[in-house]
């Protein structure tokens, strides 16, 4: 099975990701891969394992996707641009239990503005997703109101995968607020696991809450885990690695 797609240079994420050198955000790549696979197989994608992002993708580049069926409900995907591999992953339609293991509690009094932090991050304009955040044990949390003009939203709303970008930026905010070095570039290079508990997009005006924790930190890289809720319902969770200064 094969399909292809292009992320138009007119996409609203590009002006802020990153200014002067736009690249496709990992969550946008995931959404386009998901749509193509769902259209090809007729099955909903709920789970991603071992997504390796091998190279940055510029706007308006055709991404060719080769799909190999592993089981009736899982597929191995390889993405290439001009014949060069840019991403590899396993997607599946495993049925996941909805709901939440625990309600994310917002510690509002401890929230601080993220504006000063973004002065030392490469994200700009609408892609500065975190307005306020709170430090928690070995991590951080944020909450945000989804709007119609969100840079990662489509005509249906904000895909649940977008919580991954919130988690990555939230961890960067935590690092910098604790004295970390400014980041000229910060990208997700590995998604060990990513699950969405709903295939429905998040409509505007609802509240998204994200909590991220640090698992392993190395110079220039950090492995994290996150969970996200929209209102009272858990919508996504996963583990990922971010590399900075690349």
Domain total in the chain? 1
pLDDT above 90 covers a percentage of the chain that reads 80
- Between CA 182 and CA 172 the distance in angstroms is 10
Question: CATH number, domain at 184?
Answer: 3.10.129.110
- Between CA 171 and CA 27 the distance in angstroms is 16
Does the pLDDT of residue 102 top 50, yes or no? no
Strands (E), the chain: 2-6, 47-53, 62-71, 74-81, 84-92, 112-113, 132-136, 139-145, 186-196, 207-218, 221-230, 233-244
Element containing residue 118 per DSSP (H, E)? helix 115-118
At 156, give phi and psi (nearest 5°): -95, -10
Q: Per-residue pLDDT tens for 41-86?
A: 999 999 999 999 999 999 999 999 999 999 999 999 999 999 999 9
Length of the chain: 246
For residue 102, give its domain range. Answer: 2-244
pTM: 0.94
Q: Per-residue pLDDT tens for 131-163?
A: 999 999 999 999 999 988 899 998 889 999 999
């Amino acid at each position: 099975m094969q399909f292809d797609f292009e992320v138009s240079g007119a996409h609203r994420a590009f002006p802020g990701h990153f200014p002067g050198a736009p690249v496709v955000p990992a969550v946008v790549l995931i959404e386009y891969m998901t749509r193509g696979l769902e259209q090809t197989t007729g099955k909903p994608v709920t789970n991603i394992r071992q997504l390796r992002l091998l190279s940055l993708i510029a706007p308006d580049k055709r991404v060719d996707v080769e799909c190999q069926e592993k089981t009736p409900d899982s597929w191995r995907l390889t993405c290439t641009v001009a014949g060069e591999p840019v991403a590899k992953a396993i997607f599946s339609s495993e049925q996941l239990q909805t709901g939440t293991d625990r309600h994310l509690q917002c510690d509002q009094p401890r929230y601080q503005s993220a504006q000063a932090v973004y002065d030392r991050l490469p994200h700009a304009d609408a892609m500065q997703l975190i307005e306020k955040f709170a430090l928690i044990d070995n991590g951080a949390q944020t909450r945000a109101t989804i709007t119609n003009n969100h840079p990662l939203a489509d005509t249906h709303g904000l895909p649940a995968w977008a919580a991954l970008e919130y988690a990555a930026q939230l961890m960067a905010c935590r690092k910098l607020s604790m004295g970390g070095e400014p980041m000229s570039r910060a990208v997700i290079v590995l998604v060990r696991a990513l699950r969405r508990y709903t295939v429905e997009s998040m409509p505007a005006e609802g509240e998204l809450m994200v909590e991220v924790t640090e698992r392993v930190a190395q110079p220039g890289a950090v492995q994290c885990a996150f969970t996200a809720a929209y209102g009272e319902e858990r919508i996504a969770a996963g583990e990922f690695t971010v590399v900075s200064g690349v």
